[in-house]
Amino acid sequence: MPGVRQTVTTEASRDRVFAYVDDYRNVPSWMFGVTRFTPVTDHTSGLGATYEACMKIGPKNLTSTLRVTEWVENECVVLTSIAGFDVRTGWRFADGADGQTVVDVNFDYDLPGGLAGRALGAIIEPVVGQAVRQTEAALRAAVESSDAA
């Protein structure tokens, strides 16, 4: 499964960063390409919370149903697709030096086989690095701003 690994270090406290990432309403404002992230379960946080997501990459809209499969407050959030575009994304939070927070991010995806998979790969792979950089910058800016929750 191809994927991206990234570490984000921020001046914001771990509980603040976790709360921001864990709040589904914030996802489209900081995660590159996400145009929709809507809960489909009554609970919107924690194990089993499920969301419909749409990500625009180039001319392609990729849709997925994601379920929280691992969740520990202020430590980790892992979402795994249960339908649509095959993706698994994990966020692990740790205390860094001098009050900083370190977030390790994994974004793994699986492309379909054949021509469709190769065509989708040709669209996705060139923008992955840009997407990671923009996501990292947007997340850091959001949690370090004075009005972030």
pLDDT in tens, the chain (149 residues): 556 778 889 999 999 999 999 999 999 988 878 899 999 999 999 999 999 999 887 677 889 999 999 999 999 999 999 999 888 889 999 999 988 999 998 877 776 566 556 666 665 665 566 666 777 778 888 898 855 54
Into how many domains does the chain fold?
1
Residue 99 lies in a domain: yes
Residue 88 lies in a domain: yes
Residue 57 lies in a domain: yes
Residue 36: give the domain boundaries. Answer: 3-144
Residue 104 lies in a domain: yes
Residue 4's pLDDT is what? 73
Residue 149 lies in a domain: no
Residue 37 lies in a domain: yes
Residues 54/31, Cβ–Cβ less than 8 Å = no
Residues 27/138, Cβ–Cβ less than 8 Å = no
Residues 59/123, Cβ–Cβ less than 8 Å = yes
Tell me how crowded residue 80 is: count the other CB atoms within 10 A of its CB.
Answer: 17
The two tokens of residue 2 are 């191809």
The two tokens of residue 31 are 């995660």
Which CATH number does the domain housing residue 53 bear? 3.30.530.20
Residue 117 lies in a domain: yes
